[in-house]
Structure 1
Amino acid sequence: MQIVWAYRANGPPRTAEVSPVPTPHRPPRPPHPRTAPPQRGAGRQQTVPRSRTQDERPRWGMRVATGVSVLVLGAGGIGHAVVSSLETRIDRVDAFKDMKNRPRGGHGLNLLLVGTDGRERITTAEKEKYRLGGVPCHCTDTIMLVHLSADRGRASVVSLPRDSYAEMPPHTDATSGKRHESHPVKLNAAYAEGGPNLTVRTVEHMTGVKIDHYLEADFTSFMKTVDTVGGVKICTARPMKDAYTGLDLAAGTHELDGGEALQYVRSRHIDGAADLGRMHRQQKFMAALIKQTTSSGVLMNPVKFQQVVSSMLGSVRADNGFGTKQMLALGKAMRGFTPASSEFTSVPVEDPSFAVRGIGSTVKWDAEKSRKLFRALREDKPLAPARPGRQPKPTLVEVAPQEVRVQVYNGTPKDGLGTDLDAALRGTGFDTTRAPLNGELRDLKRTLLTYDPRWDRSAQSLAAALPGSELKAVPGQGATMRVTAGADYRSVRPVRAEAPQQGGLEAVTGDEVVCP
């Protein structure tokens, strides 16, 4: 699989007319848009339903994040000679040829990580073992925009859905040589029609963010890289099983080797979240990788570092500006990088199944929220909300608190305790009635949570926010949870859903999603 990373030093500011988010006219929807699986494809012709074989194509965009994260972080602690010897193995490509009317450069550095679905270097045995069959479409499969702050103390990672509705800039088709005017496509079609250059142009046109450096790599050595750093620890609040990739994880903590990590980052049939869920897992993997590489001693061990980077530099192309000097400077600046230094989110989505005639089902961005997001990147501002000093990180739960309805009761003589509990639950996202009542019991020692067994998963999310509370199943109670505050109540623990919501991924820091 081929992968792309863009990164180039900011030049003199240039003024450009940029349309950050395309705003197409909505064509008529089919009568039942949700009854058929979303169509995927990169061309401008009408897509057809995907076969199982097509669904099994590799989701390996995180391989570029794996290798490049190790390379950049390690460059600060490894000598010039070692990095130079590795840098000479990188082939060069011009991703910025003849680019004009680009967005104005902002503060910090912007990197484009793009993974294509190429599989020429995958062996037959690997294809069979990890279910990587199918015919590649030679289009981008994973797209991430990474912003490194001007002080190099923060990395903001924004996932761009590959099926995003996009307006392709005028260009010459890389395959046929035919000239095309601007036309609507899915974002992943840019690579198929015009390679890295058109991909960069399209992303800049959609986001208004100037891309700074470009790197493209074939990371078929992804599994070896993960194994060389000692594996990656992943935690899940619920079982994860995907028949297409072979992923099969029980709830809990897992040390993933290279093959298991590959299955984890490319799975998209675990739940209804599809690609949004896959992007969420890729981001968790990136945060876990940062934790592993910064805490295991790999970065300060020249032999280990060279082994890791050699395994992922088998086929790398980059622009001429990404060399030893740049790698060493970035590595030195980011020497103190930790999972808490990174933050992750995705483009806000208005409609995940936006039907477009001739293209199929696309992902339509939320225009206003997207503009705010990309403006924050240009202005070098953090995306994740700041957490108070010693506030615990949220506990991962299966059901989002926003989906859990709660009626609060006061089971003690203490005035206002029910009101306090209702406000605290609402503050962490639960859908409370905002009208707490006095309970039948007024001398309750231990907080009581009653629930209908049909909503037991919702009850578990609520129980995670009230550790130590008593759970009692009440058949026929209905969907609303009931919480009666006891004398033991002190506070509510923050919780957060493991699966993302339909509108996109909330911005979180890396230390919030890695294992404790």
Structure 2
Amino acid sequence: MRAATTLSVLVLGAGGIGHAVVTSLDTGIDRVDAFKDMKNRPDAGHGLNLLLVGTDGRDRITEAERQKYRLGGAPCHCTDTIMLVHLSEDGKRASVVSLPRDSYAEIPAHTDSTTGKKHKAHPVKINAAYAEGGPNLTVRTVEHMTGVKISHYLEVDFTSFMKTVDTIGGVEICTPRALKDSYTGLDLTPGTHRLDGGQALQYVRSRHIDGNADLSRMQRQQRFVAALISRATSNGVLLNPVKFRDVTRALLGSVRADAGFGAQQLLSLNKAMRGFSPSSSEFTSVPLLAKGVSLPGIGSTVKWDPEKSKKLFRALREDKPLALPGPSVPRDPAAGPAPGAAGAPGPSAAPPASVPPPAASKAPGTAAAGAPSAAPSAAASAAPPGAPSAAPKAALVDVKPADIRVQVYNATRTDGLGKQVDDALRATGFRTTGAPLAAGVRDVKRTQVLYDPRWDRSARSLAAALPGSELRAVKGQGGTLKVMAGSEYRTVAPVRVEATPAGRFEAMTGDQVACP
């Protein structure tokens, strides 16, 4: 997660900075030999590939910061976050790919950096490569899995992250939904917020906001990088040598890098990346299969989609853009993992950030977001009697019906209504139980969708299929949504998710995920 900030070095290198200034900063970098004795490496390809790693080291955090930002606990000496950043050969594009820390990985044969014991190749979670063999084994593992040759290795800690954010005056983050995590102390209301270093650290560390844990956190980290780029390119940091020096000093004071990354590389980036902006960056995560693998003694892992990930890394090697051309709808970073990710419901089309959906905590009695009107359209009303009616247009939703489990209750005195609603939802694609039940109350008028706040995206998708229904949050209900069919129920409207081209991975540019 802290590795996200390392990208600021690349962005800030676009300013007109003298060699003497950069060289003075170079001397403060802690060096690691990330490429020692590496053989049979992939071809270099085109452009520059940097492996950005964030470990959970917290040695330089003050006790006050530890308490305020809830940074207690023992570090695991592993990589909390791994990002692969590709800088195009023409210097006009940066592609950021997040590698889930729980990815199933085949770790190469190696000698344990702590015990000195030799190990054969064996399966692990990808973040364990750092614990067993440090930066060198981490680079070897990533190259082995991606086929992408790593040009430079950069590692960041908590301290450099917070100081860098504070030095540029904070970073602006916008969220259409409340973000709250009792573990990190993050507590953001819907809207736009200027985060200081400590608050930004809470934002990128939080993984208990919804049921998607690390997958949602990766998207917030990518959103933060986009916001960081936007801030750096809009407040004069790139063009002010003093600001550049202060920001880079804050970052490099706690960074570890390979011996080849230094002043000359910063100056080369400076020359190549003039004019860099949020739209020059693009973000994605490794596409995942719906089902992972459980390893004995290790636990659950997520597995990469072999077809989509192969195309993703081939695009990096061939220096091609990841984001599809043409207009795109900005995704809501609070909406959970990207389509194709483990635990993700499938491709989605979130509303633009400037038109946020209602928060999950919306008061009972409020109409569901995006729910189609129950009234027929003017065109339909004007149709002559007996004329064939056009099929209703399906509303776009975040979660495909097949991924939403539903229990229907008849909350009226009308016999058979529960079965009618259950059959209609099932015909539309929802995973109903097929066994509707009688509700404890029998005088409900407006159909209600009861849901656990952790499944709010599924709830809004279901409510969109029930025109005129209302959402009611019920903490602890679990993943099965409940429909209380009321006397005002009329029909189930068709819904759909936006399709992603077959075999394609999803990516978006920085201006699409930054605040409008």
Aligned mates of 2:48, 2:388 — CA distance in 1: 49
Q: Could you tell me whether the CA contact under 8 Å between 1:219 and 1:312 is conserved in 2? A: no
Match of residue 138, structure 1, among 64, 77, 87: 77
**Residue in 1 that maps onto 2:145:** 206
Alignment deviations for residues 375-433 of structure 1 (CA, whole Å, 9 cap, x no partner): 11111121111124xx664677859857999799851237799859726x459988799
* Structure 1 residue 358, shift from structure 2 partner: 2.6
Give 3-state SS (helix, strand or coil) of 1:142's partner.
Answer: strand
**Residue in 2 that maps onto 1:411:** 377
Q: Could you tell me whether the CA contact under 8 Å between 2:5 and 2:161 is conserved in 1? A: yes
Deviates more, 1:333-342 or 1:453-462: 453-462
Taking structure 1 as reference, are residues 218 and 263 closer, same or farther at Cα in structure 2, changes over 3 Å only? closer
* Structure 1 residue 357, shift from structure 2 partner: 1.6
**Residue in 1 that maps onto 2:365:** none
* Structure 1 residue 369, shift from structure 2 partner: 1.7
**Residue in 2 that maps onto 1:31:** none
Aligned mates of 1:417, 1:296 — CA distance in 2: 59
**Residue in 2 that maps onto 1:506:** 506
**Residue in 2 that maps onto 1:422:** 393
% identical aligned pairs: 64
Taking structure 1 as reference, are residues 421 and 334 closer, same or farther at Cα in structure 2, changes over 3 Å only? farther
Aligned mates of 1:140, 1:367 — CA distance in 2: 23
Letter in 2 for 1:422: K
Q: Could you tell me whether the CA contact under 8 Å between 2:15 and 2:244 is conserved in 1? A: no
Q: Normalised by the size of structure 1, how large is the TM-score? A: 0.72
Letter in 2 for 1:288: A
Aligned mates of 1:417, 1:281 — CA distance in 2: 47
**Residue in 2 that maps onto 1:9:** none
Q: Could you tell me whether the CA contact under 8 Å between 1:346 and 1:504 is conserved in 2? A: no
* Structure 1 residue 319, shift from structure 2 partner: 2.4
Match of residue 380, structure 1, among 304, 307, 319: 319
| Alignment partner of 1:224 is 2:163 | yes
Q: Could you tell me whether the CA contact under 8 Å between 1:173 and 1:193 is conserved in 2? A: yes
Flag the structure with more relative contact order, 1 or 2, with Cα contacts below 8 A and sequence separation at least 6: 1
| Pairs within 5 Å for 1:50-199 | 61-62=1-2, 64-70=3-9, 72-199=11-138
* Structure 1 residue 161, shift from structure 2 partner: 0.9
| Pairs within 5 Å for 1:250-399 | 250-351=189-290, 353-388=292-327, 393=330
Segments of structure 1 that go 5 or more residues without pairing to the other structure are: 1-60, 437-449, 484-493, 497-502
Letter in 1 for 2:25: L
Q: Output the aligned Cα RMSD.
A: 3.9
* Structure 1 residue 67, shift from structure 2 partner: 4.1
Q: Could you tell me whether the CA contact under 8 Å between 1:347 and 1:504 is conserved in 2? A: no
Taking structure 1 as reference, are residues 459 and 130 closer, same or farther at Cα in structure 2, changes over 3 Å only? closer
Letter in 2 for 1:411: S
Segments of structure 2 that go 5 or more residues without pairing to the other structure are: 337-344, 351-369, 403-423, 429-444, 471-483
* Structure 1 residue 224, shift from structure 2 partner: 2.3
Aligned mates of 1:460, 1:509 — CA distance in 2: 28
* Structure 1 residue 190, shift from structure 2 partner: 0.7
Q: Could you tell me whether the CA contact under 8 Å between 1:209 and 1:378 is conserved in 2? A: yes
Equivalent pairs counted in the alignment come to: 419
Letter in 2 for 1:413: A
Q: Could you tell me whether the CA contact under 8 Å between 1:147 and 1:157 is conserved in 2? A: yes
Q: Could you tell me whether the CA contact under 8 Å between 1:455 and 1:479 is conserved in 2? A: no
* Structure 1 residue 93, shift from structure 2 partner: 2.1
Give 3-state SS (helix, strand or coil) of 1:102's partner.
Answer: coil
Q: Normalised by the size of structure 2, how large is the TM-score? A: 0.72
Aligned mates of 2:300, 2:225 — CA distance in 1: 28
* Structure 1 residue 315, shift from structure 2 partner: 2.8
Aligned mates of 1:509, 1:344 — CA distance in 2: 6
Taking structure 1 as reference, are residues 460 and 272 closer, same or farther at Cα in structure 2, changes over 3 Å only? closer
